[in-house]
Amino acid sequence: MRASLLQATTGCRSILTGIKTSSLSVIVMLAVNAYSSSPELPLQLLDRYGLEGKKAFAVLSKAEVQHDISLSSNQLTRIKAIRNLDAKAMPAVSNFLKKTGPATNVSQRLQRSEEVIKLADNFQLESYYAVLASSQSNRFQEIMLQVCGLKMVSSNQKLARTLDIADSQFKKFKDILARYDIELDPLYHRFQRQTIAGLSPGESLESRSSQVRASADSICAIERKREVELGTVLSNAQQEEWRRLKGVSLQIHWDYDDFMDLISS
């Protein structure tokens, strides 16, 4: 799953760089229609395809978040510089490249590329938090919990320990996520094709837009349903702790520009 997601996100960049202006205009129109139909869609895509550093930057880029954690202009400049830093300039990446040497076949190149992506993403995530003061970091972690939802329990051991998740509960989380992935995987793949592929002969923009809106609505409805079901696994005390960990709710406005950033980066 991780490899396929990495390929999906990096593949979008290579596809979009070769798209003609007219085709790109079609993609923008589809993005607008998808967002208008399901305004939380960029958030869902962010969590689906974004690595942790990518997610953190996307959230830090929102004006609501910057205001909430009192991010200074100097801090924002430093965060953007981290985001734009060439991967080869990151110590962990450069050390890895020196240690492994050049790849000799396609399989090695793919593995090497995926490792570089992960190392760069981890570097960026740690660097973002290093820019924040302690109080800002704590609040930002609360906001990230709000953004990511209870599915984080399955991959975040610290969160699972804090919530005192029992082995039986952890299994239920895994089972629920696996069951919903059966529904979501083909929907996300279809959505990606619909928003990137050119129109077929005889296919109208209205027809494609209708398909995109239907996929977006289905994805967001299933994601919301899954979050509710995950919540039923928690005891009353755990639900109360989960609410405490998330802190004061922050409404973030996700728009189609966020959507475009996600599918093109």
The more confident residue out of 71 and 10 is 71
Distance set, CA 145 to CA 15, 139, 189, 196 (Å): 32, 10, 26, 30
Is residue 184 within 8 A of residue 222, CB to CB? The reply is yes
Distance set, CA 73 to CA 79, 141, 195, 257 (Å): 10, 20, 35, 22
The Cα 70–Cα 147 span in angstroms is: 19
∠ CA(119), CA(124), CA(129), 5° rounding?
Answer: 130
**pLDDT-derived band at 55, boundaries 50, 70, 90:** confident
Boundaries of every domain in the chain: 2-71+132-264
Per-residue pLDDT reduced to its tens digit, 1-27: 333 333 333 333 333 334 344 454 555
Give the pLDDT score at 194: 83
Per-residue pLDDT reduced to its tens digit, 204-246: 888 888 888 888 888 889 989 999 999 999 999 999 999 999 9
